[in-house]
Amino acid sequence: MKLKLYLNYLLKPVICGLLIAAGILYGPVIFKSLTKESTHLPSVSSYSEAVKKAAPSVVNIYSQQYIDSNVGKKQQLQPTGLGSGIILDSNGYILTNHHVIAQADQILIALQDGRLFTASILGSDIVTDLAVLQIEGENLPVIPQNPDYTPEIGDVVLAIGNPYNLGQTITQGVISATGRSGMSSTGRQDFIQTDAAINEGNSGGALINSRGELVGINTSEFYTGNSNVTYGISFAIPYQLAKHVVQGIIEDGRVIRGSLGIEAENLDPLLARLWGLEAKNSIIVKQVLKGGPAEKAGMKNNDILLKIGNENAANLIVTMDKIAKTKPGTTIKITILREGKEQQLDVTIGELQ
């Protein structure tokens, strides 16, 4: 009994002393660790890496024209246009909008690293409002490109350009729609719609995804009939279409497009049902142009296009794009429906003028 009391009397101070010593030794470490965890902030969501990859390759474009001078009869170069462009490869090829450089007598290119160049025009394509310029320089920044990327509604995108000559500016949004057509005077562009802000000076700049890859070429804002800007609706030309245009201009100095010589539209769903067809896979010919490839092959108004070669005539945009990419002089089989009967026509593709 006395031994038990003695041990209790002796052990209590020892245990207390050990606990106090442990608190002195390890308390600051534990407190620091807990404080660090309690003050740790969540990571910031950022697209800075994508911008770092793409932004250096987006250039400022300044167009100049010779204007009659008030002094004597001499003409002087005056700034007349502002836009943006994209360096596509180390050869100095720059893609921009045709309207940015359409009236230019001289084109100045300003890189983000401070270098200034005079550009030459390799060619333009009014149909898609695209132009290819070239500069000569070393260590040119090239925008990342992914031919396998397909834009999808909801993808986050960033627009890079020089709005109102404020300096390079980044705006952010999502892809609102794809396959928008009829937004231009030609009606042939296949636009990407986005809510990323695209203002004057952004034309020809880059629309990139969250990896910094080129998605499209910024081209315009949407205007209502009374010329008021509708905010949150902007357009860009898809990279895949632009790439085809660039290749044509570099190789041939222009874009050579195939033509059927018809005016057509997607088949009305009601008519398609009457003929037992799927409207999404059929096109109706509204007019066969006189002397064109289709007329020579025997095509008539109100013929239904079912197949181009072995592929279904999915819709007007896809089908006309396939024809446009076919080399003039090529003969292809086109399956049509006329008066309820399928027929095949051999059509020799002409050149779109």
- Residues 162-172: pLDDT tens digits? 988 888 999 99
Of 99, 125, 234, 303, the active-site residue reads: 99
Class of domain 258-351: mainly beta
Local confidence band at 269 (pLDDT 50, 70, 90 cut-offs): confident
Question: Tell me: the pLDDT tens digits for 98-143?
Answer: 999 988 999 999 999 999 999 999 999 988 899 999 999 999 999 9
Is 129 a known active-site residue? yes
Beta bridge partners of 131: 96, 124
CATH 3.65.10.10 fits 156-252, yes or no: no
At 40 the pLDDT is 63
Q: How does residue 39 score in pLDDT terms, banded at 50, 70 and 90? A: low
Length of the chain in residues, anyone?
353
Instruction: Please pick, among 57, 176, 203, 220, the residue that the annotation labels catalytic.
Output: 203
Active-site residue, from 124, 125, 129, 234:
129
Is-same-fold flag (50-134; 156-252)? yes
- Percent of the chain residues past pLDDT 90, beyond the cut: 46
Q: Which residue has the higher pLDDT, 32 or 172?
A: 172
Domain residue spans of the chain = 50-134, 156-252, 258-351
* For the chain, counts of helices (H) and of strands (E): 7, 20
What is the pTM (predicted TM-score) of this model? 0.74
For residue 27, the tally of other CB atoms under 10 A from its CB is 11
Contacts by 66-71, CB closer than 8 A, 24 or more apart: 66/105
- Give domain 50-134's CATH number out of 3.40.800.10, 3.40.50.1220, 1.10.10.10, 2.40.10.10: 2.40.10.10
Q: Is the pLDDT of residue 299 over 70?
A: yes
